[in-house]
Amino acid sequence: MTETTAPEALPGNTPEYSVSEIAGALKRTVEAAFGQVRVRGELSGFKRHISGHCYGTLKDERANIDLVMFKGSVSTLNFRPEDGMEVVVTGKLTTFPGRSKYQIVVERMAPAGVGALLAQIEARRLKLAAEGLFDASRKQPLPHIPQVIGVVTSATGAVIRDILHRLADRFPRHVLVWPVAVQGEAAAAQVSAAIRGFNAIAPGGPVPRPDLIIVARGGGSIEDLAAFNEESVVRAAAASAIPLISAVGHETDTTLIDFASDWRAPTPTAAAERAVPVLAELRAALAMNAARLDRAAARGLAQRRERTEAAARRLPQARTLLELPMQRLDDLSGRLPRGLRASASYWQGRAARIGAALRPALIFSRRDRAAGLLAAAGSGLERGGKARIAESRTRLETRAARLRPHLLRSGAARDEARLAAAARMLGSLGPEQVLARGYALVRGPDGKLVTTAAIAARNTHLTIRFQDGETPVLTDNSAQKRLL
């Protein structure tokens, strides 16, 4: 039997590559074939990394592709990408060898048509309106002449120059400018922070607190105004305690901050015109009102003078009012001396007549008659007193005769017998006899008898009296109180 050996495998013509070589070749091939592409799809899982780069997936109904947007490209976004939003991205296809997958590196991203962005804005508007952020009851009245005006806008644009120029023409005021980005990804955060910052200024501090805030930006596309449709900006405007005017875009532009502000201006210049009145017009109105006030005061004074003069003409003159009293005074002053003399003559004659009737014999006789009457009255009183004393003595002697000794002794004996019987009964029924039979008397701290258990329960110290003495006791109630 002949032994045969298997032939050795011979190397073929296929070249041998390493994994890195294959991955590099694929990367170069994909990038060469798809160097610059525009892809439309729906965002999914879009998130921003701490490094500033953004990652997500772009998909349609049959496929998906990973995307990455580096930090430099993210800063060019003028809207906030969200999951479910349809976008158009521009970039290049490449591979990621570390995970053996392909992806698109996005350089620019835009909403897929205005309709999608408007639908997103409308959905946000309905959501915020349902929360009551746009209610008319939340609107604050604007101050008529604010002392300090805060302006939130770009510090380098034409908007701030237009506002300052208009304020200077109408009514110069102190203006605080909070510079912010009005376009791009950082614009929404800066605008909302500026509104909150103005509200956080304390009154009376080194920085004056604004009486009015103007949020302004020039015109632009819907993508350019996207920051003022952000939820954070709308909530900051609705929560502002300082009245706020929104002046974003041109007259035909509408953003969500317009619904939350206290007053919407069609342009930034119109916002400045609404913020302050015209000083020259105020001065003219003040002068006109002052002139009207002067004329009204003069007219009122003239009318009162006329009414006073008319009333004075209807009043009688002072000489007319005093003529009659003066005449009566003259008459009475002439009659007074004659009356005094007649009165004196009358009283002198009467005194003389009374004096002539007073004779000494009449006075002495009347005195003797009065003394006799007084003596008769005294003797009568003396005889009446002696008679009453004799009558009282007779009644006393009669009553003494009735009090015989044997009658007094018998009455005393009867009273002693009744007293002894009462003493015996008291001894049998008294407390001493009851104590001798085994009973006891219970008294409280106030010395009063304790007759029921309820009264005993309310007292902690009691005294029990037996036949041979008293003993103090403590109740269970006192022990419980000590335990508590």
Range with the poorest average pLDDT among 44-53, 196-205, 301-310, 334-343: 334-343
Mean pLDDT of 369-386: 57
pLDDT of residue 253: 81
pLDDT, one tens digit per residue, over 224-277 is: 888 999 999 999 999 999 999 999 988 878 899 999 999 999 999 999 999 999
Taking a C-beta distance cutoff of 8 angstroms, is the pair 239, 209 a contact?
Answer: no
Residues 441 and 458 in one domain: yes
pLDDT, one tens digit per residue, over 120-145 is: 888 899 999 999 999 999 999 999 99
Residues 48 and 133 in one domain: no
- Percentage of the chain lying above the pLDDT 90 cut: 32
Residues 164 and 257 in one domain: yes
Domain of 143, CATH number, reads 3.40.50.2300
Domain that holds residue 300: 288-322
Structure-model confidence comparison of residues 359 and 76, the more confident one: 76
Q: What's the whole-model pTM score? A: 0.48
Residues 47 and 195 in one domain: no
pLDDT of residue 289: 93
Reported as a pLDDT band with limits 50, 70 and 90, residue 427 is: low
pLDDT of residue 6: 44
Mean pLDDT of 440-451: 79
Determine, yes or no, domain membership for 264. Answer: yes
Structure-model confidence comparison of residues 270 and 476, the more confident one: 270
For the ranges 70-74, 289-293, 410-414, the one whose mean pLDDT is highest: 289-293
Structure-model confidence comparison of residues 354 and 227, the more confident one: 227
pLDDT of residue 241: 95
Determine, yes or no, domain membership for 165. Answer: yes
Residues 84 and 56 in one domain: yes
pLDDT of residue 175: 95
pLDDT of residue 406: 58
> What average pLDDT is seen over the chain?
81
Task: Identify the domain boundary among 247, 277, 307.
Answer: 277
Task: Identify the domain boundary among 216, 242, 277.
Answer: 277
For the ranges 92-101, 105-114, 150-159, 463-472, the one whose mean pLDDT is highest: 150-159
Residues 162 and 231 in one domain: yes
- Structurally, the chain folds into a number of domains equal to 4
Structure-model confidence comparison of residues 194 and 463, the more confident one: 194
Burial 127-141 (b: 16+ CB within 10 A, else e): ebeeeebbeeeeeee
